[in-house]
Chain A
Amino acid sequence: NAGVTQTPKFQVLKTGQSMTLQCAQDMNHEYMSWYRQDPGMGLRLIHYSVGAGITDQGEVPNGYNVSRSTTEDFPLRLLSAAPSQTSVYFCASSSRTSGRARVMFFGPGTRLTVL
């Protein structure tokens, strides 16, 4: 049971390039989400999904796209990278059916630098 996995661990992009951050979970969790972490800002929600085929925007969605074609995978696409998107990106998942004490599990993160 690998939990939540993310690839790549590190990435450097040039302004204007596009890329996809991969996220997968093997816990059969319905809920998945993407957060970005910037120094002194805590974590901020980018997009989330409550099930395959269903996604919605979080607090800071501009410049990012998501899709959820399977329960396991939730990729995050940067359409045209900007220096303001330099950050650490965390994918997370949680279960709808594990009772009241639903814990959100986080992946190891992707450190992205946009030059």
Chain B
Amino acid sequence: ELKVEQNPLFLSMQEGKNYTIYCNYSTTSDRLYWYRQDPGKSLESLFVLLSNGAVKQEGRLMASLDTKARLSTLHITAAVHDLSATYFCAVDRSGGSNYKLTFGKGTLLTVNP
């Protein structure tokens, strides 16, 4: 059974600081997704990581994938309040067809002024 573990589950940080969210998964997969969810809203796709060593960056967020370690990271640089949200990683378990995702429990990020 595929398990996806995120840590930390709760993260309170000050504006301007850097931090990393970790996502470990238990079985082989070369597709990993990061989503953002604002309170009471739906999920918004942030990154799709398709191969070992993949790195994607968008603004203050950078995601990477190490398939050998079964680890993805979401790095936050110089956090701002607008980044406050819940972040989910998800692993594809449909053999690359992206119709079955297993999600981590999410990391609730709060950025304080």
Interface residues of A (CB under 8 A from B): 31-33, 35, 40-45, 48, 50, 58-59, 90, 94, 96, 100-109
CB-CB under 8 A from A101, the residues of chain B are 48, 50
Query: Which segment of B13-21, B57-65, B76-84, B93-101 sits at the interface?
Result: B93-101
CB-CB under 8 A from B99, the residues of chain A are 31-33, 48, 50, 94, 104
Interface residues of B (CB under 8 A from A): 4, 9, 33, 35, 41-43, 45, 48, 50, 88, 90, 96-106
Q: Are A96 and B97 in contact (CB under 8 A)?
A: yes
CB-CB under 8 A from B4, the residues of chain A are 42
Taken together as a complex, chains A and B put the C-alpha atoms of A105 and B42 apart, in Å, by: 9
Q: Are B104 and A42 in contact (CB under 8 A)?
A: yes
CB-CB under 8 A from A103, the residues of chain B are 33, 45, 48, 98
Closest to B105 in A: A42
The distance from the CB of A114 to the nearest CB of chain B, in whole angstroms, is 19
With A42-B88, A90-B43 known to touch, is A102 a contact of B97 (CB < 8 Å)?
yes
Q: Are B98 and A31 in contact (CB under 8 A)?
A: yes
The contact sample of 23 A-B pairs, CB cut-off 8 A, is: A31-B98, A32-B99, A33-B100, A42-B103, A42-B105, A42-B106, A43-B90, A45-B101, A48-B100, A50-B97, A58-B100, A90-B43, A96-B97, A100-B50, A101-B48, A101-B50, A102-B98, A103-B33, A104-B45, A104-B101, A106-B43, A107-B42, A109-B41
Taken together as a complex, chains A and B put the C-alpha atoms of A100 and B54 apart, in Å, by: 13
